Amino acid sequence: MKKINMPKTRLLCIYFLGMLTMACDSAPTDKFSSGGGLNLKEERGSWLLINYWAEWCGPCREEIPELNELHADRENLNLHLMGVNYDGIRDDALAKVIEKMGIAFPVLIEDPRKYWEAEQPQVLPATLVINPQGRLIANLVGPQTKASLLAAMQE
């Protein structure tokens, strides 16, 4: 029977754990309430629109059909549109509100504004516009239309 050298075995375990951890870095770090996600910090090549909304916000409810329409056309427009619930609700409560409000675009579990050093919105709805190079180019306040969002992406 061969004797195992414990220090070498430990080093190999540490090495393989490190490799496994590095492989996990490419996994989505920003998860959607419905499953799946993106790594928004590293996302490049597409426009990102991040909309802050709340159930109690009348203007938020008014703009949802516009956002849903934009989301439906996302592939032609090279964009990812996602929402953030301002109140931070989660799990089943969040799923119920999403269904009740008719939101068809993905909703993030965590607020990603830290990536762009954006301040917390003081007025809702609010939408962050991030260009394909990953830079925040606009912080839109108030309800948006598909046309106003497309115009913000042209600047």
pTM of the prediction? 0.79
Instruction: Express each pLDDT in 34-72 by its tens digit.
Output: 888 888 888 789 999 999 999 999 999 999 999 999 999
Q: How many whole angstroms separate alpha carbon 139 and alpha carbon 121?
A: 9
Per-residue confidence (pLDDT) for residue 66, from 0 to 100: 96
Which tokens is 41 given? 């910090």
Q: Per-residue pLDDT for 7 more than 80?
A: no
The residue to which tokens 């916000």 are assigned: 57
Q: 122-139: string of b/e by CB count within 10 Å (b at 16+)? A: eebbbbbbbeeebebebb
Q: Across the chain, what does the average pLDDT equal?
A: 86
